[in-house]
Structure 1
Protein backbone atom coordinates (compact mmCIF):
# COMPACT_ATOMS: atom_id res chain seq x y z
CA UNK A 1 0.00 0.00 0.00
CA UNK A 2 1.30 3.45 -0.96
CA UNK A 3 1.70 6.31 1.44
CA UNK A 4 -1.16 8.12 -0.26
CA UNK A 5 -3.52 5.17 0.26
CA UNK A 6 -2.45 4.87 3.84
CA UNK A 7 -3.11 8.53 4.46
CA UNK A 8 -6.53 8.26 2.82
CA UNK A 9 -7.45 5.33 5.01
CA UNK A 10 -6.42 7.27 8.08
CA UNK A 11 -8.46 10.25 7.01
CA UNK A 12 -11.51 8.14 6.22
CA UNK A 13 -11.35 6.56 9.61
CA UNK A 14 -11.22 10.01 11.12
CA UNK A 15 -14.68 10.64 9.55
CA UNK A 16 -14.39 14.39 9.25
CA UNK A 17 -13.86 16.46 6.06
CA UNK A 18 -12.40 19.37 8.00
CA UNK A 19 -10.03 17.05 9.78
CA UNK A 20 -8.97 15.51 6.44
CA UNK A 21 -8.22 18.89 4.94
CA UNK A 22 -6.14 19.94 7.93
CA UNK A 23 -4.29 16.63 7.88
CA UNK A 24 -3.44 16.97 4.18
CA UNK A 25 -2.04 20.42 4.78
CA UNK A 26 0.09 19.05 7.59
CA UNK A 27 1.36 16.26 5.34
CA UNK A 28 2.13 18.81 2.59
CA UNK A 29 4.11 21.00 4.95
CA UNK A 30 6.01 17.99 6.26
CA UNK A 31 6.83 16.74 2.74
CA UNK A 32 7.78 20.25 1.65
CA UNK A 33 10.35 20.58 4.45
CA UNK A 34 11.89 17.21 3.55
CA UNK A 35 11.88 18.01 -0.18
CA UNK A 36 13.64 21.33 0.37
CA UNK A 37 16.29 19.42 2.33
CA UNK A 38 16.94 17.25 -0.73
CA UNK A 39 15.00 14.09 0.10
CA UNK A 40 14.14 12.39 -3.23
CA UNK A 41 11.10 10.53 -1.87
CA UNK A 42 9.70 13.70 -0.34
CA UNK A 43 10.28 15.55 -3.61
CA UNK A 44 8.33 12.88 -5.47
CA UNK A 45 5.47 12.96 -2.91
CA UNK A 46 5.38 16.74 -3.04
CA UNK A 47 5.08 16.63 -6.85
CA UNK A 48 2.22 14.15 -6.48
CA UNK A 49 0.40 16.41 -4.03
CA UNK A 50 0.77 19.38 -6.38
CA UNK A 51 -0.52 17.28 -9.26
CA UNK A 52 -3.52 15.98 -7.28
CA UNK A 53 -4.15 19.17 -5.32
CA UNK A 54 -3.78 17.45 -1.95
CA UNK A 55 -3.09 19.88 0.88
CA UNK A 56 -2.32 22.62 -1.66
CA UNK A 57 -3.86 24.20 -4.75
CA UNK A 58 -3.36 22.07 -7.84
CA UNK A 59 -0.29 23.30 -9.77
CA UNK A 60 0.97 21.11 -12.57
CA UNK A 61 4.03 23.35 -13.14
CA UNK A 62 5.12 22.81 -9.53
CA UNK A 63 4.31 19.12 -9.88
CA UNK A 64 6.61 18.91 -12.90
CA UNK A 65 9.30 20.85 -11.01
CA UNK A 66 9.38 18.45 -8.08
CA UNK A 67 9.13 15.38 -10.31
CA UNK A 68 12.20 16.66 -12.16
CA UNK A 69 14.03 17.18 -8.85
CA UNK A 70 13.26 13.65 -7.76
CA UNK A 71 14.16 12.23 -11.18
CA UNK A 72 17.53 13.99 -11.07
CA UNK A 73 18.28 12.11 -7.85
CA UNK A 74 17.32 8.80 -9.43
CA UNK A 75 13.86 8.23 -7.96
CA UNK A 76 12.48 5.14 -9.74
CA UNK A 77 8.90 6.48 -10.28
CA UNK A 78 9.56 10.18 -10.80
CA UNK A 79 10.56 10.01 -14.46
CA UNK A 80 7.52 7.90 -15.45
CA UNK A 81 5.17 10.27 -13.58
CA UNK A 82 6.85 13.22 -15.26
CA UNK A 83 6.32 11.73 -18.73
CA UNK A 84 2.62 11.08 -18.00
CA UNK A 85 2.16 14.61 -16.75
CA UNK A 86 3.77 16.12 -19.83
CA UNK A 87 1.69 13.90 -22.13
CA UNK A 88 -1.53 14.97 -20.41
CA UNK A 89 -0.54 18.61 -20.64
CA UNK A 90 0.10 18.29 -24.36
CA UNK A 91 -3.28 16.59 -24.95
CA UNK A 92 -5.28 19.09 -22.94
CA UNK A 93 -6.52 22.52 -23.95
CA UNK A 94 -3.35 24.06 -22.59
CA UNK A 95 -1.15 21.81 -24.70
CA UNK A 96 -0.62 24.38 -27.41
CA UNK A 97 0.39 27.04 -24.92
CA UNK A 98 2.64 24.60 -23.10
CA UNK A 99 4.23 23.56 -26.37
CA UNK A 100 4.75 27.20 -27.31
CA UNK A 101 6.21 27.90 -23.88
CA UNK A 102 8.61 25.00 -24.22
CA UNK A 103 9.61 26.06 -27.69
CA UNK A 104 10.24 29.56 -26.44
CA UNK A 105 12.29 28.14 -23.60
CA UNK A 106 14.22 26.02 -26.09
CA UNK A 107 14.85 29.07 -28.27
CA UNK A 108 15.94 31.06 -25.24
CA UNK A 109 18.31 28.30 -24.20
CA UNK A 110 19.64 28.18 -27.75
CA UNK A 111 20.18 31.94 -27.70
CA UNK A 112 21.91 31.75 -24.35
CA UNK A 113 24.09 28.89 -25.54
CA UNK A 114 24.94 30.77 -28.74
CA UNK A 115 25.75 33.88 -26.70
CA UNK A 116 27.88 31.79 -24.38
CA UNK A 117 29.72 30.25 -27.33
CA UNK A 118 30.18 33.70 -28.87
CA UNK A 119 31.50 35.03 -25.57
CA UNK A 120 33.83 32.06 -25.23
CA UNK A 121 35.04 32.57 -28.79
CA UNK A 122 35.66 36.27 -28.15
CA UNK A 123 37.53 35.49 -24.97
CA UNK A 124 39.62 32.88 -26.78
CA UNK A 125 40.38 35.36 -29.57
CA UNK A 126 41.28 38.01 -26.98
CA UNK A 127 43.63 35.57 -25.25
CA UNK A 128 45.17 34.58 -28.55
CA UNK A 129 45.58 38.22 -29.56
CA UNK A 130 47.16 39.04 -26.22
CA UNK A 131 49.47 36.07 -26.60
CA UNK A 132 50.50 37.20 -30.10
CA UNK A 133 51.10 40.73 -28.86
CA UNK A 134 53.18 39.43 -25.98
CA UNK A 135 55.19 37.29 -28.37
CA UNK A 136 55.66 40.25 -30.71
CA UNK A 137 56.83 42.42 -27.82
CA UNK A 138 59.22 39.73 -26.67
CA UNK A 139 60.55 39.35 -30.22
CA UNK A 140 60.98 43.11 -30.52
CA UNK A 141 62.79 43.21 -27.18
CA UNK A 142 65.14 40.43 -28.23
CA UNK A 143 65.83 42.12 -31.57
CA UNK A 144 66.53 45.42 -29.79
CA UNK A 145 68.92 43.65 -27.41
CA UNK A 146 70.63 41.97 -30.38
CA UNK A 147 71.02 45.32 -32.16
CA UNK A 148 72.37 46.92 -29.01
CA UNK A 149 74.81 44.05 -28.55
CA UNK A 150 75.94 44.35 -32.17
CA UNK A 151 76.39 48.11 -31.77
CA UNK A 152 78.48 47.64 -28.64
CA UNK A 153 80.61 45.01 -30.31
CA UNK A 154 81.12 47.27 -33.35
CA UNK A 155 82.11 50.14 -31.08
CA UNK A 156 84.50 47.86 -29.21
CA UNK A 157 86.08 46.70 -32.46
CA UNK A 158 86.38 50.27 -33.73
CA UNK A 159 87.88 51.42 -30.43
CA UNK A 160 90.36 48.54 -30.47
CA UNK A 161 91.25 49.38 -34.08
CA UNK A 162 91.83 53.04 -33.21
CA UNK A 163 93.97 52.07 -30.25
CA UNK A 164 95.99 49.70 -32.42
CA UNK A 165 96.45 52.44 -35.03
CA UNK A 166 97.48 54.88 -32.32
CA UNK A 167 100.02 52.41 -30.95
CA UNK A 168 101.36 51.78 -34.46
CA UNK A 169 101.61 55.53 -35.09
CA UNK A 170 103.40 56.04 -31.78
CA UNK A 171 105.79 53.20 -32.62
CA UNK A 172 106.56 54.67 -36.03
CA UNK A 173 107.09 58.14 -34.57
CA UNK A 174 109.41 56.69 -31.93
CA UNK A 175 111.34 54.84 -34.62
CA UNK A 176 111.53 58.04 -36.69
CA UNK A 177 112.80 60.01 -33.70
CA UNK A 178 115.34 57.29 -32.99
CA UNK A 179 116.45 57.35 -36.63
CA UNK A 180 116.83 61.12 -36.53
CA UNK A 181 118.81 60.88 -33.32
CA UNK A 182 121.09 58.24 -34.78
CA UNK A 183 121.60 60.25 -37.94
CA UNK A 184 122.38 63.34 -35.87
CA UNK A 185 124.88 61.35 -33.83
CA UNK A 186 126.42 60.00 -37.02
CA UNK A 187 126.71 63.51 -38.46
CA UNK A 188 128.19 64.75 -35.21
CA UNK A 189 130.68 61.89 -35.20
CA UNK A 190 131.51 62.63 -38.84
CA UNK A 191 132.06 66.32 -38.04
CA UNK A 192 134.23 65.39 -35.09
CA UNK A 193 136.25 62.97 -37.22
CA UNK A 194 136.64 65.59 -39.94
CA UNK A 195 137.75 68.17 -37.39
CA UNK A 196 140.26 65.74 -35.94
CA UNK A 197 141.60 64.93 -39.39
CA UNK A 198 141.89 68.60 -40.23
CA UNK A 199 143.67 69.23 -36.93
CA UNK A 200 146.11 66.45 -37.66
CA UNK A 201 146.70 67.86 -41.15
CA UNK A 202 147.30 71.32 -39.73
CA UNK A 203 149.66 69.91 -37.12
CA UNK A 204 151.59 68.03 -39.77
CA UNK A 205 151.89 71.15 -41.93
CA UNK A 206 153.44 73.09 -39.07
CA UNK A 207 156.36 70.69 -38.67
CA UNK A 208 159.84 72.19 -39.64
CA UNK A 209 161.22 71.04 -42.99
CA UNK A 210 165.00 70.48 -43.16
CA UNK A 211 167.06 72.23 -45.81
CA UNK A 212 168.15 70.39 -48.86
CA UNK A 213 171.70 70.55 -47.71
CA UNK A 214 170.75 69.29 -44.24
CA UNK A 215 169.04 65.96 -44.24
CA UNK A 216 169.57 65.00 -40.59
CA UNK A 217 168.30 66.39 -37.37
CA UNK A 218 170.70 68.10 -35.06
CA UNK A 219 170.82 67.49 -31.39
CA UNK A 220 169.46 70.94 -30.77
CA UNK A 221 166.31 70.32 -32.84
CA UNK A 222 163.17 69.43 -30.88
CA UNK A 223 161.90 65.90 -30.96
CA UNK A 224 159.00 65.08 -33.28
CA UNK A 225 156.58 64.64 -30.36
CA UNK A 226 157.47 68.05 -29.01
CA UNK A 227 156.99 69.55 -32.44
CA UNK A 228 153.48 67.95 -32.71
CA UNK A 229 152.56 69.22 -29.25
CA UNK A 230 153.73 72.72 -30.20
CA UNK A 231 151.74 72.54 -33.39
CA UNK A 232 148.67 71.52 -31.41
CA UNK A 233 149.16 74.48 -29.08
CA UNK A 234 149.43 76.80 -32.05
CA UNK A 235 146.31 75.21 -33.55
CA UNK A 236 144.37 75.94 -30.38
CA UNK A 237 145.75 79.53 -30.20
CA UNK A 238 145.50 80.13 -33.97
CA UNK A 239 148.30 80.77 -36.45
CA UNK A 240 150.06 84.08 -36.41
CA UNK A 241 151.36 83.52 -39.96
CA UNK A 242 150.19 81.56 -42.98
CA UNK A 243 151.68 78.03 -42.78
CA UNK A 244 151.60 77.70 -46.55
CA UNK A 245 154.04 80.65 -46.81
CA UNK A 246 156.77 78.73 -44.99
CA UNK A 247 159.43 76.68 -46.75
CA UNK A 248 157.71 73.47 -45.55
CA UNK A 249 154.51 74.31 -47.43
CA UNK A 250 155.54 72.12 -50.32
CA UNK A 251 155.31 69.06 -48.05
CA UNK A 252 151.70 69.88 -46.98
CA UNK A 253 148.85 68.56 -49.06
CA UNK A 254 146.51 71.40 -48.19
CA UNK A 255 149.01 73.95 -49.33
CA UNK A 256 149.63 72.05 -52.54
CA UNK A 257 145.85 72.09 -53.18
CA UNK A 258 145.84 75.85 -52.73
CA UNK A 259 148.58 76.23 -55.31
Structure 2
Protein backbone atom coordinates (compact mmCIF):
# COMPACT_ATOMS: atom_id res chain seq x y z
CA UNK A 1 0.00 0.00 0.00
CA UNK A 2 1.61 3.29 -1.13
CA UNK A 3 1.54 6.66 0.63
CA UNK A 4 -1.26 8.08 -1.54
CA UNK A 5 -3.51 5.14 -0.81
CA UNK A 6 -2.80 5.58 2.92
CA UNK A 7 -3.62 9.29 2.77
CA UNK A 8 -6.84 8.59 0.88
CA UNK A 9 -7.92 5.98 3.39
CA UNK A 10 -7.04 8.35 6.23
CA UNK A 11 -9.15 11.14 4.71
CA UNK A 12 -12.04 8.77 4.12
CA UNK A 13 -11.81 7.35 7.64
CA UNK A 14 -11.63 10.78 9.20
CA UNK A 15 -14.60 11.93 7.14
CA UNK A 16 -16.62 8.95 8.34
CA UNK A 17 -15.60 9.50 11.97
CA UNK A 18 -15.72 13.27 12.08
CA UNK A 19 -18.06 13.14 15.00
CA UNK A 20 -16.64 10.01 16.63
CA UNK A 21 -14.33 11.97 18.94
CA UNK A 22 -13.85 15.54 20.06
CA UNK A 23 -10.07 15.47 19.45
CA UNK A 24 -9.04 14.69 15.84
CA UNK A 25 -5.74 13.30 17.14
CA UNK A 26 -7.69 10.59 18.94
CA UNK A 27 -9.41 9.73 15.67
CA UNK A 28 -6.04 9.69 13.92
CA UNK A 29 -4.64 7.39 16.61
CA UNK A 30 -7.53 5.00 16.14
CA UNK A 31 -7.08 5.05 12.38
CA UNK A 32 -3.34 4.38 12.67
CA UNK A 33 -4.09 1.51 15.04
CA UNK A 34 -6.45 -0.05 12.54
CA UNK A 35 -3.95 0.39 9.73
CA UNK A 36 -1.11 -1.05 11.84
CA UNK A 37 -3.26 -4.08 12.58
CA UNK A 38 -3.45 -4.70 8.83
CA UNK A 39 0.38 -4.76 8.70
CA UNK A 40 0.90 -1.25 7.34
CA UNK A 41 4.53 -0.36 8.17
CA UNK A 42 4.06 3.38 7.89
CA UNK A 43 1.10 3.18 10.25
CA UNK A 44 3.25 1.21 12.69
CA UNK A 45 5.92 3.92 12.58
CA UNK A 46 3.31 6.68 12.98
CA UNK A 47 1.65 4.80 15.82
CA UNK A 48 5.06 4.42 17.49
CA UNK A 49 5.57 8.18 17.21
CA UNK A 50 2.13 8.86 18.71
CA UNK A 51 2.85 6.50 21.63
CA UNK A 52 6.27 8.10 22.07
CA UNK A 53 4.94 11.67 22.15
CA UNK A 54 1.61 10.92 23.80
CA UNK A 55 -0.38 12.36 20.90
CA UNK A 56 -3.95 11.09 20.63
CA UNK A 57 -3.25 8.65 23.44
CA UNK A 58 -1.41 8.36 26.74
CA UNK A 59 2.39 8.32 26.41
CA UNK A 60 3.68 4.76 26.55
CA UNK A 61 7.35 4.25 25.67
CA UNK A 62 7.07 0.48 25.88
CA UNK A 63 4.33 0.40 23.22
CA UNK A 64 6.24 2.95 21.13
CA UNK A 65 9.31 0.71 21.23
CA UNK A 66 7.11 -2.27 20.37
CA UNK A 67 5.63 -0.53 17.29
CA UNK A 68 9.06 0.70 16.12
CA UNK A 69 10.48 -2.81 16.37
CA UNK A 70 7.50 -4.30 14.50
CA UNK A 71 8.05 -1.73 11.74
CA UNK A 72 11.79 -2.49 11.73
CA UNK A 73 11.05 -6.20 11.45
CA UNK A 74 8.92 -5.45 8.39
CA UNK A 75 11.77 -3.54 6.77
CA UNK A 76 11.04 0.05 7.75
CA UNK A 77 14.05 2.29 7.26
CA UNK A 78 15.33 4.88 9.74
CA UNK A 79 13.53 3.21 12.64
CA UNK A 80 16.77 2.28 14.43
CA UNK A 81 17.29 5.89 15.47
CA UNK A 82 13.76 5.98 16.87
CA UNK A 83 14.41 2.77 18.78
CA UNK A 84 17.63 4.19 20.29
CA UNK A 85 15.82 7.42 21.17
CA UNK A 86 13.03 5.57 22.97
CA UNK A 87 15.50 3.34 24.83
CA UNK A 88 17.38 6.46 25.95
CA UNK A 89 14.14 8.10 27.02
CA UNK A 90 13.22 5.03 29.00
CA UNK A 91 16.62 4.93 30.69
CA UNK A 92 16.74 8.59 31.61
CA UNK A 93 13.02 8.83 31.84
CA UNK A 94 13.00 6.18 34.55
CA UNK A 95 15.48 8.18 36.59
CA UNK A 96 13.51 11.34 35.89
CA UNK A 97 10.31 9.54 36.74
CA UNK A 98 11.92 8.29 39.91
CA UNK A 99 13.04 11.79 40.76
CA UNK A 100 9.63 13.11 39.86
CA UNK A 101 8.03 10.40 41.97
CA UNK A 102 10.36 11.23 44.82
CA UNK A 103 9.63 14.91 44.45
CA UNK A 104 5.92 14.16 44.25
CA UNK A 105 6.18 11.94 47.32
CA UNK A 106 8.11 14.69 49.09
CA UNK A 107 5.48 17.25 48.09
CA UNK A 108 2.71 14.93 49.19
CA UNK A 109 4.53 14.22 52.45
CA UNK A 110 5.06 17.94 52.99
CA UNK A 111 1.41 18.54 52.20
CA UNK A 112 0.35 15.79 54.60
CA UNK A 113 2.68 17.15 57.27
CA UNK A 114 1.31 20.63 56.66
CA UNK A 115 -2.23 19.32 56.96
CA UNK A 116 -1.25 17.43 60.10
CA UNK A 117 0.46 20.51 61.55
CA UNK A 118 -2.54 22.66 60.73
CA UNK A 119 -4.86 20.03 62.18
CA UNK A 120 -2.66 19.73 65.27
CA UNK A 121 -2.58 23.52 65.56
CA UNK A 122 -6.37 23.68 65.26
CA UNK A 123 -6.79 20.90 67.80
CA UNK A 124 -4.28 22.60 70.11
CA UNK A 125 -6.13 25.88 69.70
CA UNK A 126 -9.40 24.11 70.49
CA UNK A 127 -7.86 22.46 73.55
CA UNK A 128 -6.30 25.70 74.73
CA UNK A 129 -9.59 27.50 74.19
CA UNK A 130 -11.38 24.78 76.13
CA UNK A 131 -8.78 25.07 78.91
CA UNK A 132 -9.15 28.86 78.96
CA UNK A 133 -12.93 28.63 78.99
CA UNK A 134 -12.83 26.01 81.74
CA UNK A 135 -10.39 28.15 83.73
CA UNK A 136 -12.64 31.16 83.19
CA UNK A 137 -15.68 29.16 84.32
CA UNK A 138 -13.79 27.85 87.36
CA UNK A 139 -12.58 31.36 88.21
CA UNK A 140 -16.07 32.76 87.78
CA UNK A 141 -17.48 30.00 89.99
CA UNK A 142 -14.72 30.57 92.56
CA UNK A 143 -15.25 34.33 92.51
CA UNK A 144 -19.00 33.82 92.84
CA UNK A 145 -18.49 31.45 95.76
CA UNK A 146 -16.14 33.97 97.41
CA UNK A 147 -18.64 36.78 96.88
CA UNK A 148 -21.47 34.66 98.25
CA UNK A 149 -19.35 33.63 101.26
CA UNK A 150 -18.38 37.23 101.92
CA UNK A 151 -22.01 38.27 101.54
CA UNK A 152 -23.10 35.56 103.96
CA UNK A 153 -20.40 36.55 106.46
CA UNK A 154 -21.36 40.20 106.07
CA UNK A 155 -25.02 39.36 106.56
CA UNK A 156 -24.16 37.29 109.65
CA UNK A 157 -22.03 40.11 111.07
CA UNK A 158 -24.67 42.69 110.29
CA UNK A 159 -27.37 40.51 111.85
CA UNK A 160 -25.18 39.94 114.92
CA UNK A 161 -24.51 43.68 115.11
CA UNK A 162 -28.23 44.45 114.81
CA UNK A 163 -29.07 41.85 117.45
CA UNK A 164 -26.32 43.19 119.74
CA UNK A 165 -27.54 46.74 119.19
CA UNK A 166 -31.10 45.60 119.87
CA UNK A 167 -29.99 43.83 123.05
CA UNK A 168 -28.01 46.86 124.17
CA UNK A 169 -30.93 49.14 123.35
CA UNK A 170 -33.29 46.85 125.22
CA UNK A 171 -30.86 46.76 128.15
CA UNK A 172 -30.60 50.55 128.12
CA UNK A 173 -34.36 50.90 127.94
CA UNK A 174 -34.81 48.35 130.72
CA UNK A 175 -32.19 50.10 132.83
CA UNK A 176 -33.90 53.41 132.13
CA UNK A 177 -37.28 51.96 133.08
CA UNK A 178 -35.84 50.40 136.23
CA UNK A 179 -34.08 53.66 137.10
CA UNK A 180 -37.26 55.59 136.48
CA UNK A 181 -39.18 53.08 138.58
CA UNK A 182 -36.61 53.36 141.37
CA UNK A 183 -36.66 57.11 141.20
CA UNK A 184 -40.45 57.10 141.15
CA UNK A 185 -40.51 54.68 144.08
CA UNK A 186 -38.05 56.92 145.91
CA UNK A 187 -40.18 59.96 145.17
CA UNK A 188 -43.30 58.07 146.26
CA UNK A 189 -41.54 56.92 149.42
CA UNK A 190 -40.30 60.42 150.10
CA UNK A 191 -43.78 61.74 149.49
CA UNK A 192 -45.25 59.18 151.84
CA UNK A 193 -42.64 59.91 154.46
CA UNK A 194 -43.23 63.64 154.04
CA UNK A 195 -46.97 63.12 154.26
CA UNK A 196 -46.53 60.94 157.33
CA UNK A 197 -44.23 63.51 158.91
CA UNK A 198 -46.62 66.27 158.04
CA UNK A 199 -49.48 64.20 159.44
CA UNK A 200 -47.50 63.53 162.60
CA UNK A 201 -46.64 67.18 162.81
CA UNK A 202 -50.28 68.09 162.36
CA UNK A 203 -51.37 65.52 164.91
CA UNK A 204 -48.66 66.69 167.29
CA UNK A 205 -49.64 70.26 166.76
CA UNK A 206 -53.28 69.36 167.26
CA UNK A 207 -52.46 67.39 170.40
CA UNK A 208 -50.33 70.22 171.70
CA UNK A 209 -53.08 72.67 170.89
CA UNK A 210 -55.67 70.47 172.56
CA UNK A 211 -53.44 70.08 175.59
CA UNK A 212 -52.89 73.79 175.70
CA UNK A 213 -56.57 74.45 175.36
CA UNK A 214 -57.36 71.89 178.07
CA UNK A 215 -54.73 73.37 180.33
CA UNK A 216 -56.12 76.77 179.70
CA UNK A 217 -59.57 75.63 180.55
CA UNK A 218 -58.36 73.93 183.71
CA UNK A 219 -56.52 77.04 184.75
CA UNK A 220 -59.56 79.16 184.22
CA UNK A 221 -61.78 76.86 186.25
CA UNK A 222 -59.33 76.80 189.10
CA UNK A 223 -59.32 80.51 189.38
CA UNK A 224 -63.10 80.93 189.35
CA UNK A 225 -64.27 77.73 190.99
CA UNK A 226 -61.95 76.01 193.41
CA UNK A 227 -64.09 72.97 193.32
CA UNK A 228 -63.31 72.59 189.66
CA UNK A 229 -59.77 71.51 190.34
CA UNK A 230 -58.09 68.26 191.15
CA UNK A 231 -57.72 69.29 194.73
CA UNK A 232 -61.44 69.94 195.17
CA UNK A 233 -62.04 66.50 196.57
CA UNK A 234 -59.97 67.32 199.50
CA UNK A 235 -61.95 70.42 200.18
CA UNK A 236 -64.91 69.95 202.53
CA UNK A 237 -66.74 72.78 201.00
CA UNK A 238 -66.53 71.29 197.56
CA UNK A 239 -67.59 67.81 198.65
CA UNK A 240 -71.02 69.08 199.52
CA UNK A 241 -71.46 70.20 196.01
User: In the alignment, which residue of structure 2 is the partner of 1:183?
Assistant: 171
For residue 9 of structure 2, what is the aligned residue in structure 1? 27
- With normalisation by structure 1, the TM-score equals 0.56
Q: 1:234 maps to which residue? A: none
Question: Which residue in 2 is equivalent to 1:193?
Answer: 181
1:68-110 Cα distance to aligned partner (Å, 9 max, x none) = 99xx8xxxxx99x738528859xx8545454223212222222
Aligned partners of 1:186, 1:128: CA distance in 2, in Å? Answer: 84
Name the residue aligned to 2:102: 114
21 and 120 in structure 1: CA distance in 2 versus 1, 3 angstrom threshold: closer
Q: Could you state the TM-score of these two structures normalised by the residue count of structure 2?
A: 0.59
Listed as ranges, the gaps of 5+ residues in structure 1 are: 1-7, 9-19, 73-77, 215-259
* Aligned positions, number: 180
Matched, 1:45 2:34: yes
Question: What is the root-mean-square deviation in Å for CA atoms of aligned residues?
Answer: 3.8
1:50: how far off? 10
Q: Relative to 1, partners in 2 of residues 1:187 and 1:87: Cα closer, same or farther, differing over 3 Å?
A: farther
Q: Deviations over 1:153-202 (max 9, x none)?
A: 11111111121122112111211221121111211122122122212322
Shift in CA distance, 147/127, structure 1 to aligned 2, threshold 3 Å: same
Q: Which has the higher contact order (CA 8 A, sep 6+)?
A: 1
Q: Is the 8 A contact 1:31 1:42 kept in 2?
A: yes
Q: Which has the larger radius of gyration?
A: 2
Whichever structure has more helix as a proportion of its residues is 2
Matches for 1:148-187 after TM superposition, within 5 Å? 148-187=136-175
In 1, the alpha carbon distance for the partners of 2:118 and 2:72 equals 52
Is 1:82–2:67 an aligned residue pair? yes
